Amino acid sequence: MQSVILNTATRLMVGLILIFAIYLLLRGHHEPGGGFAAALVAGTAFALFAITEGPDKVRRAVRLRPATIAMIGLGVAVAAGLPAVFMSRPFLTGIWWNVSTNLAVGTPLIFDIGVFLAVLGAILSILLALEED
C-alpha cells in the first residue's frame, strides 16, 4: 500500500528524527540520553524509512552491513576504556581532554558513540531481517 501522506511525512520526519538522535547522543553524559536512547530513536527513523521505501533503500542509505556497524560500535566502546588503562587507572574511568576553553571531550562520549553504533547495528539487523520476509 502506497500512501502519499506517509511518504511525504517520512521525507520530512526522518531527517528531524536523526538530528534528535544526535542531540540525545551528545547530551547523554550530563542529562538523560546517551548512546542507547539515541540508537533507539535513530532505529525508529530507519524503521519508518523501511516501512515507506522498503529495506533495499535502507541498505543503500546505510551503506554498511548492520553487523559491521555493531562490531565497529563494540570496538569503539572497548577502545574508550583503554586511555584510562594506559594512565594506570581502572578500565573505563573517564578521561577528559580540553579541546578549547569551552569544550572538553572525554572517553564517556567515545563510549556513548560505541554504544550508539552497537545498538543501532543490532536494531538495523533485526529490522531488515523482518522487513525482507
pTM of the model: 0.91
- Each residue's pLDDT tens digit, 38-95: 999 999 999 999 999 999 999 999 999 999 999 999 999 999 999 999 999 999 999 9
Name beta bridge partners: 98.
Answer: 104
Q: Which domain holds residue 29?
A: 4-132
d(CA 65, CA 91): 29
How many domains would you assign to the chain? 1
d(CA 51, CA 108): 34
For residues 14 and 42, the answer to whether their CB atoms sit within 8 Å is no
